[in-house]
Chain A
Amino acid sequence: MSQDSVRVEKEALETEREPNPVLALLRTSVGRNAGLVVALLLICLVGAITAGSRFTDWDNAMTILRLAAVVGVVSIGMTFVIIGGGIDLSVGAIVALSSVWCTTVATQELAQDIHWLWMVAVALLVGSACGLINGLLIAYGNIVPFIMTLAMLASARGLAEIISDKKTQIVSVEGFDDFFNRDILGIDVQVWLFALVSVAGWILLNRTTFGRRTVAVGGNPEAARLAGINVKRQTVYLYVLIGFCCGIAALMLVAKTTTGSSTHGSLLELDTIAAVVIGGTLLTGGRGTIVGTVLGVLIFSSITNIFILNNRSFSEQSLFKGAIIVAAVLLQQRLASRNSTT
């Protein structure tokens, strides 16, 4: 037996060796992320060439990061949901609903002297509650995530319009604006928040039972269930998590624009799913990285920034982004199909 095993071992090692070292590197998550860094640098190079110092100066870097922050926070949540084998199309609508709900609380007459932390609590609660509804109906109602969150996309946006009466609600709560628009060490609080959520997400995914369960549930739900993991409960947690992230994003948007509006966060689902996919997370679940997602977000917002600096239209931007998403998925599939030849 032992001789046989040695033979098998040697053969296993041989078959693992990759004829093409670049492909082999891209297959590991570290290698993929290195590839994304290269892509990001190339994009920056394009930016520097086409827009010169307008692209390269510090203020513009901050603009890119601020642009990235809102999308980024939600993308971290999306990474978890997609690794867990789901998808959430309702993020934009949840952001809108959370924003108008918290600005409504702030603008009600009775609540004139309300503490700004109440706004924070309301936004986070509304976001999490929407996620909870998504999660419960997906896990226990057996509704396909795509359909459930599509329904939530419509309903949450609709409720946001009803609450706000389709009006943009301007708010100015002293402590709130101060907190969210402050600089710390020359860097915007919003950017710090994105960094904080990313680090927390990384720890949660890589160092906790929660992260391990997420990977198990997305990688092979049947095996996870038979190993005694409560797949349904984990699914609910994942949607609550992304709902919570939407709450944070809503607060960031309210502070940035000093308004709550039922149009906030439109097409956010596109940007976040795209960032996650570009970041190398498999849409089939079970595999993905936070670092990849952060890089995906930065790549996307840099491209947006370069288009704006070069006075290109939003339509051209969309066209280009669509192409990038397709390219990213094609590349991912090539890598994935070579990976599973058993």
Chain B
Amino acid sequence: MTDTPLLQMTGIVKQFPGVRALDGVDLDVRAGEVHCLLGQNGAGKSTLIKVLSGFHQPDEGTITWDGQDAAFSTPAKAIEHGVATIYQELDLVPHLDVTENVFLGHEVSRAGFSQRSRAREMARALLARLGHAEIPVTRVVGDLSPANQQIVSMARALSHDTRLLVLDEPSAVLDQQEVANLFRVIRSLTAEGVAVVYISHRLEEIRQIGDRITVLKDGRTVATGLAVADTPTAELIRLMTGRSIEYVFPPRPETPRDQGEPVLEVRDLSLAGVFTGVDLTVHAGEIVGLAGLVGAGRSEILETLYGARRASTGTVAVDGKRLRRGSVTSSVQAGVGLAPEERKSQGLLLDEAVYRNITMSSMARFARFGFLDRGQERKRAEELTTSLDVRPTGVTRAVRTLSGGNQQKVVLARWLLRDCRVLLLDEPTRGVDVGARSEIYQLVRSLADRGVAVVVVSSEIEEVLGLADRVLVVREGEVVHESASTDIDEAKVLDLVMEERVPA
């Protein structure tokens, strides 16, 4: 490990409409080190690596690569200079085989004819270097496990003369054994002098693999070059959140809520191959949280009980009335609302005005013989956006121009307007900055106080525990634990979701 940085980024600024994604970020990476990038959702990690890999051009700031000024104008330029990025969603072509994927874009050829056997040999050598000689180079990539696909992706990165490898949450799709394997590969790469930028939410992984840490918060670098060994976890959390207490959750009501009539009753709900036998009862004014790893089936449970997916078995009832299976329309009519996980692609019409997004589910209320009273629509939307403090104000502006937190408020306003009985929230604070989070939490609690039954799904265990009255832990499509959220702590939940994970 040398002290001259291989990569130095200084004062990087990147502006998107309505959001300053990066607002002065510094990062330096040395050859042969594992540099961890930490930060909450929306802190700017993804944008930063996209700037680094040539997808985005920085608006301000300088990038020095190997002692020379460099801003990579295209991803191809970045690869040429030896920067390879492996994104969360792997960019492999599923119908091509391993060899073809490894050499995609720079096929092994002579005089325009591809040299298949030589390519296969080279692919084999690369896989062996990664310690995965067992992956057959002629296998179609779509048939490989996610872990092996990741290895193929890394082989592709190494097929270029890679000096810096960026891994964006590589462990998200892996089980523990596969993670250990990944770490072995990373160590052998750094031993060869390759620098690695490692992004992960899991602090324990960073402890194991990282050399130094840079922490991002709200698009700024709050600490850089921290030595992993000397930095206590509490310090890291303080840096990420900007305060020693992690989140401010609204207080729970004094009296337990589960004495009233149940509003939402789910019995033996299953979706073939995803989850089975889910029972769930939510009373008026109660918030129930679903905790579990990504892929455990949490979102699918929510979508199925909403009718967006057709359940294989089971029933969902609201106020004692059975919902039609697989019909969102009937769920909405019965008073169920969903704030989906992917707000932009599933929740909003980005180019349409704020008020139209709000009234979208209650149009009938503003219509007479099908004719809309737009003045009334705007008036109601204005009342709602004012009470939810949506900024910038103005209900005719396109939703696209709002920040993540304000977009989420627009989605919530939609269901507020409908006076829904049951509100389903899937990752309610994803892409929402820390300040706006507590506002969202307050809002959810005040909805519950008005008698709405709320179900929350979140990857962040502390969010589930802090917000919900009752917690269900989901593991591999089954509810493995249910209790009041005050009777369980984060460590116990983690233990439950990780327990007995069968290696793939």
Contact = CB atoms under 8 A, between A and B. Distances in A.
Interface of A: 1-2, 4-6, 8-9, 11-13, 15-16, 207-210, 212-213, 215-216, 219-220, 222-230, 286-287, 339-342
Given A8-B403, A219-B349, A226 B20 contact: no
Given A13-B392, A15-B16, A223-B345, 11 more contacts: A4-B435, A8-B19, A8-B20, A208-B370, A209-B370, A212-B356, A216-B360, A226-B328, A226-B340, A227-B361, A228-B328
B276 interface: no
A24 B349 CA distance: 21
B326 to A, nearest CB: 11
B352 A207 contact: no
Residue in A212, A227, A342 with the greatest tally of chain B CB atoms within 10 Å: A227
B274 interface: no
Contacts, number: 110
B392 A225 contact: no
Contacts of A2: 391
B338 A226 contact: yes
Contact of A5 (B329, B338, B363, B391): B391
Contacts of A212: 356, 360, 363, 372
B195 to A, nearest CB: 30
Interface in B7-34: 15-20
B367 interface: yes
A223 B391 contact: no
Contact of A225 (B17, B20, B328, B439): B328
- Of the candidates A12, A210, A229, the one having the most CB atoms from chain B within 10 angstroms of its own CB is A12
A208 B15 contact: no
Contacts of B347: 223, 226-227
B113 interface: no
Main secondary structure of the interface of B (DSSP, over half): mixed
Interface in B341-389: 345-352, 356, 360-361, 363-364, 367, 370-372, 374
Contacts of A286: 349, 351
Given A12-B18, A220-B345, A210 B351 contact: no
Contact of B346 (A11, A13, A226): A226
B392 A5 contact: yes
B401 A230 contact: no
A72 B401 CA distance: 35
Given A209-B370, A227-B361, A228-B361, A8 B18 contact: yes
Nearest to B346: A222
A15 B363 contact: no
Contacts of B392: 5, 8-9, 12-13
Residue among B347, B360, B435 with most chain A CB within 10 A: B360
B323 to A, nearest CB: 12
A210 B328 CA distance: 19
A192 to B, nearest CB: 23
Interface majority SS on A: helix, strand, loop or mixed?
Answer: helix
Contacts of B364: 209
B466 to A, nearest CB: 19
Which of A2, A209, A222 has the most B CB atoms < 10 Å from its CB? A209
A193 B333 CA distance: 39
Contacts of B403: 8
Contact of B349 (A12, A223, A340): A223
Contact of A342 (B361, B370, B400): B400
Given A208-B367, A228-B333, A9 B391 contact: yes
A1 B328 contact: no
B360 A207 contact: no
A30 to B, nearest CB: 14
Contact of A215 (B331, B332, B352, B414): B352
Contact of A12 (B17, B333, B350): B17
Contacts of A215: 349, 352
28 contacts: A1-B439, A4-B433, A8-B19, A8-B391, A11-B18, A11-B20, A12-B17, A15-B15, A15-B18, A207-B371, A208-B371, A209-B363, A209-B367, A215-B349, A222-B345, A223-B345, A223-B348, A224-B360, A225-B308, A225-B328, A226-B308, A226-B340, A227-B347, A227-B360, A228-B361, A339-B351, A341-B16, A342-B19
A225 B363 CA distance: 14
A91 B158 CA distance: 54
B122 interface: no
B70 interface: no
Nearest to A204: B370
Nearest to B218: A4
A287 to B, nearest CB: 7
A225 B326 CA distance: 12
Contacts of A225: 308, 328
B436 interface: yes
Contacts of A287: 351
A226 B348 CA distance: 10
Contacts of A208: 367, 370-372
Nearest to A233: B329
Nearest to A210: B370
A223 B361 CA distance: 11
Given A212-B372, A342-B400, A223 B15 contact: no
A230 B361 CA distance: 11
A274 B414 CA distance: 37
Contacts of B349: 215-216, 219-220, 223-224, 286
A15 B439 contact: no
Given A15-B17, A226-B308, A341-B17, A219 B352 contact: yes
B38 to A, nearest CB: 22
A26 to B, nearest CB: 16
B290 to A, nearest CB: 18
A126 B433 CA distance: 56
B434 to A, nearest CB: 10
Interface string B434-446: 0110010000000
Given A4-B435, A209-B370, A210-B370, A223 B351 contact: no
Nearest to B359: A212
Contact of B16 (A4, A5, A207, A342): A342
A339 B350 CA distance: 11
5 cross-chain pairs, A with B, having the tightest CB-CB distances, nearest first = A228-B332, A9-B392, A5-B391, A12-B18, A227-B360
Contacts of A228: 328-329, 331-333, 361
B20 to A, nearest CB: 6
B16 A227 contact: no
B370 to A, nearest CB: 5
A306 to B, nearest CB: 36
Nearest to B330: A228
A127 B352 CA distance: 32
